Structure 1
């Protein structure tokens, strides 16, 4: 697995975030998408995905493939 440079990542929260601290942040990177939990305050683990994989995941969520939100 390749290391991803997160030093210059610009993180953003979902527009569906309700501000209670239970949010997911996403950063678009050159060749990947990075995802992290805001409760970790930038110190926790970061998941990465290809852009295509991230789009497929979001489409699956929107289509209800993982159950009701």
Structure 2
């Protein structure tokens, strides 16, 4: 059975929902996307396959997990 969700609604790293407002139909948007106020490190973006870069959004969970990993001594 295929996933009814649009591929762009899924994080390319974990497959979870990315909750990107940019991928939400304009009539359903609830303001600016959460990702607009975040900084996505180059090292995190480099984990994406070339074909997924600039085409799918990383979820907040993957961003926060990466940041936490970077903060470890």
TM-score by length of 1: 0.30
Structure 1 or 2: more strand by fraction: 1
Greater relative CO (CA pairs within 8 A, separation 6+) = 2
TM normalised by structure 2 equals 0.29
Larger helix fraction of residues: 2
